A and B are shown apart, each in its own frame.
Chain A
Amino acid sequence: MRAALADGEDNPLMRRRLAQRRVSKHRNGIFWYILRDAPSALLRTMVVAGLVLVMQATTSTPALAYMAYVTNEKGNSISVIDLDKLEVVKTAKVGQRPRGIVLNKEGTQIFICAGDDDTINIVDAKTLQIIGDLPSGPDPELLILSPDGKLVYLSNENDNLVTMVDIDTRKVVGEIPVGVEPEGMALSPDGKILVNTSETTNMAHLIDPQKKEIIANILVGARPRFAQFTPDGSELWVSAEVGGTISVIDPAKHEVKQKIEFAIPGLPKEAIQPIGIRISRDGKTAFVALGPANRVAVIDTATKQVTKYLLVGQRVWQLAFTPDEKYLLSTNGVSNDVSVIDVAGLKVVKSIPVGSFPWGVAVSPR
Chain B
Amino acid sequence: MLFGRYVCACIAAIALYGARPFGFSYAQPAQTLAMSIAVGVLRTAHSKETISILEIPPDNDLLAGAELGLEDNKTTGKFINQEFTLKDRKLAEGEDAAEAVRNFASDGIHLIIADLPAAQLLAAADAGKATNTLLFNASAPDDRLREEDCRANVFHTAPTRSMLADGLAEYLIWKQWRRWFLVFGSHSEDALFADAIRRSAKKFGAKIVAERLYQDTGGGRRSDSGSVQTQRQMPVLTQNVPAYDVLVAADENDVFAGYLPYRTWDPRPVAGSGGLKPVSWDATHEQWGAAQLQNRFYRLFKRSMNARDNQAWMAMRVIGEAATRTHSNDPAKLHEFLVGPDFSFAAFKGQRLTLRSWNLQVRQPILLGDGRSIVSVSPQEGFLHQTSELDTLGYDKPETKCVLR
A residues in contact (CB < 8 Å) with B: 157-158, 160, 179-181, 198-203, 205, 214, 217, 219, 222-223, 241-244, 268, 270-271, 273, 292
Contacts and interface: CB of A to CB of B under 8 A. Distances in A.
Given A243-B352, A271-B351, A199 B76 contact: no
B352 A244 contact: yes
Nearest to A222: B346
Contact of A199 (B295, B346, B351, B390): B346
7 contacts: A158-B292, A200-B72, A201-B76, A214-B79, A217-B80, A242-B345, A270-B390
Contact of A179 (B75, B296, B351): B75
Contact of A202 (B76, B351, B388, B389): B76
Nearest to B363: A270
Nearest to B317: A200
Interface residues on B, range: 20 to 34
A208 to B, nearest CB: 15
Interface string B334-363: 000000000011100011100000000000
Given A219-B325, A268-B389, A242 B346 contact: yes
B284 interface: no
B389 A242 contact: no
B58 interface: no
B262 to A, nearest CB: 32
Given A199-B292, A200-B346, A219-B325, 4 more contacts: A157-B292, A202-B321, A217-B79, A217-B80
Ranked 3 nearest A-B pairs via Cβ:
A270-B351, A242-B346, A217-B79
B289 interface: yes
Contacts of A157: 292
Contact of B345 (A160, A180, A217, A222): A222
B304 interface: no
B352 A160 contact: no
Contact of B79 (A203, A242, A271): A203
A180 B76 contact: yes
Contact of B72 (A158, A201, A268, A273): A201
Contact of B352 (A180, A205, A217, A270): A270
Contacts of A271: 351
A214 B75 CA distance: 14
Contacts, number: 68
Interface in B263-308: 289, 292, 295-296, 299
B75 A201 contact: yes
Q: Which applies to chain A's interface (DSSP): helix, strand, loop or mixed?
A: loop
Nearest to B292: A181
B324 interface: yes
A195 B351 CA distance: 25
Contacts of A223: 289, 346
Contact of B76 (A203, A241, A292): A203
Contacts of B79: 179, 201, 203, 205, 214, 217
Given A158-B296, A219-B325, A270-B388, A242 B351 contact: yes
Most chain-A CB neighbours within 10 Å: which of B79, B292, B344, B390?
A: B79
A242 B296 CA distance: 20
B45 to A, nearest CB: 30
B78 to A, nearest CB: 9
A176 to B, nearest CB: 12
Interface in B56-102: 71-72, 75-76, 79-80
Contacts of B80: 217, 219
Contacts of A198: 75
Contact of A180 (B72, B324, B389): B72
Contact of B388 (A205, A214, A241, A268): A268
Most chain-B CB neighbours within 10 Å: which of A179, A217, A270, A273?
A: A270
Interface in B305-328: 317, 321, 324-325
A180 B79 CA distance: 11
A183 to B, nearest CB: 9
Contacts of B296: 158
A222 B352 contact: yes
Contacts of B389: 268, 270
Nearest to B365: A270
Contacts of B72: 180, 200-201
A242 B344 contact: yes
A283 to B, nearest CB: 30
B1 to A, nearest CB: 25
B76 A222 contact: no
Contacts of B321: 202, 222
Contacts of B325: 219
A158 B300 CA distance: 12
A222 B288 CA distance: 14
Contacts of A222: 321, 344-346, 352
Contacts of B299: 158
Contacts of A270: 351-352, 388-390
Most chain-B CB neighbours within 10 Å: which of A181, A198, A205, A214?
A: A181
A237 to B, nearest CB: 19
A158 B351 contact: no
A273 B352 CA distance: 9
A160 B388 CA distance: 33
B225 to A, nearest CB: 42
Contacts of A219: 80, 324-325
Most chain-B CB neighbours within 10 Å: which of A181, A200, A223, A244?
A: A200
Contacts of A243: 344, 346, 352
B352 to A, nearest CB: 4
A65 B181 CA distance: 63
Most chain-A CB neighbours within 10 Å: which of B75, B80, B295, B350?
A: B75
